[in-house]
Amino acid sequence: MSEDYLWDGSGEVDSEIAHLEAVLGELRWKPRGRRLWRWWGVAAAAVLLLAAGISFFPRRGPVTSWELSLAGGKESVVRGGEVIETGSSMKATMKSEAVGEVNIDPNSRLRVVEARAGLQKFALDQGTIHAFIWARPATFVVDTPSAKTVDLGCQYTLRVDKDGSGFLSVETGWVAFEAEGVESFIPADAVCSTRQGRGPNTPYFRDAPKALSGALAEFDQSKSSTALRAVLAAARARDAFTLWHLLQRTKGEQRLEIYERFAGLVNLPASATQDGILHGDPNAMDAAWNALQLGDMAWWRTWQRKW
């Protein structure tokens, strides 16, 4: 493959890429003859919204990171250390032009721990937030009583129950979930729960077989080998992602059983040696992660730091 050609069309023409460009070019956005009506459609919508009393353009005021709006209420600036609590029927929205938007469900309590350039840190004591973040990865961090969530460029929902346990569901992008030295990397379409004092449970895809998710919940609770075998038996190729996290959470015989199933589901490179994985060698684990084809571990390491 010609990387130069793939990058910017320079260098020697790669015939396969050129073929793909020619075929897929049929689907390219073609504004000819439509651009005007499309653009005027946007403009017309703007006029209608203005007529309805909705302002598009900025009011002049103090520059702040976050603004809070309650349903039917005025916007107000959010300051460090503030606590946002919603009642039983109240929803709220926080917006920051450089970071993203956070919708807060009723019966929630969200604290602003720290808000500065490069780090926006909150604590969700209870309730549910829906975060839609466009800031660079690792900027938006939410502590919960049982784990810390670190946005890696995404849209997700985070819930904290009264007992401090939590549940994370990722819709796009990635979230890192961390506590007690245990880390989970959770991609779109995956979920992960936490329990206070234990850190994140093992993540899994929302479409995983019920036999897998049920057995996984039991294993996270009891570490039972019977439950583990049920997880391994139900795992599909896609669930190797779950098995990779299980490798990090087990030792001895259990880790060996997981490795054997994992190696049967994933085409492992030579650097992901059995010995390395069984001994938790970081290089072998990274190579095993890369074999999942969910993104290069080097990318995750770029954002790894003490939050």
Which range, of 14-22, 194-202, 253-261, 278-286, touches other proteins by CB under 8 A? 14-22
Which range, of 83-91, 192-200, 278-286, 292-300, touches other proteins by CB under 8 A? 292-300
Asked if residue 256 binds other proteins (CB under 8 A), the reply is no
Which range, of 57-65, 79-87, 142-150, 191-199, touches other proteins by CB under 8 A? 57-65
Asked if residue 251 binds other proteins (CB under 8 A), the reply is no
Report in angstroms the alpha-carbon separations of 243 from 129, 233, 234, 291.
28, 11, 11, 13
Question: Is 67 or 161 the residue whose CB approaches other proteins more closely?
Answer: 67
Min dist CB 50 to other proteins, Å, is 9
Min dist CB 249 to other proteins, Å, is 23
Q: Which of 114, 163, 180, 207 binds other proteins (CB under 8 A)?
A: 207
Q: Which of 35, 236, 279, 301 binds other proteins (CB under 8 A)?
A: 35
54's CB contacts (< 8 A; 6+ apart) are none
Question: Is 93 or 107 the residue whose CB approaches other proteins more closely?
Answer: 93
Question: Is 21 or 180 the residue whose CB approaches other proteins more closely?
Answer: 21
Which range, of 77-85, 128-136, 196-204, 254-262, touches other proteins by CB under 8 A? 128-136
Asked if residue 24 binds other proteins (CB under 8 A), the reply is yes
Asked if residue 52 binds other proteins (CB under 8 A), the reply is no
Min dist CB 121 to other proteins, Å, is 19
Asked if residue 1 binds other proteins (CB under 8 A), the reply is yes
Min dist CB 66 to other proteins, Å, is 10
Question: 102 pairs with which residues across the strands?
Answer: 94, 131
- Please write down the HEC assignment for all residues of the chain: CCHHHHHHCCCCCCHHHHHHHHHHHHHCCCCCCCHHHHHHHHHHHHHHHHHCCCCCCCCCCCCCCCEEEECCCCEEECCCCCEEECCCCCCEEEEECCCEEEEECCCCEEEEEEEECCEEEEEEEEEEEEEEECCCCCCEEEECCCCEEEECCCEEEEEECCCCCEEEEEEECEEEEEECCEEEEEECCEEEEEECCCEECCCEECCCCHHHHHHHHHHHHHCCHHHHHHHHHHCCHHHHHHHHHHHHCCCHHHHHHHHHHHHHHCCCCCCCCHHHHHCCCHHHHHHHHHHCCCCCHHHHHHHCCCC
Instruction: Identify the CA nearest to 154 among candidates 167, 140, 165, 166.
Output: 140
Question: Is 189 or 218 the residue whose CB approaches other proteins more closely?
Answer: 189
Q: 59: buried, middle or exposed (CB in 10 Å: 19+, 13-18, 0-12)? A: exposed
Min dist CB 168 to other proteins, Å, is 16
Which range, of 15-23, 196-204, 216-224, 258-266, touches other proteins by CB under 8 A? 15-23
Asked if residue 100 binds other proteins (CB under 8 A), the reply is yes
Binding site for other proteins (CB under 8 A): 1, 3, 6-9, 16-17, 20-21, 23-29, 31, 35, 38-39, 41-43, 45-46, 49, 54-59, 63, 67, 95, 97-98, 100, 132-134, 136, 155, 171-173, 187-189, 206-207, 293-296, 299
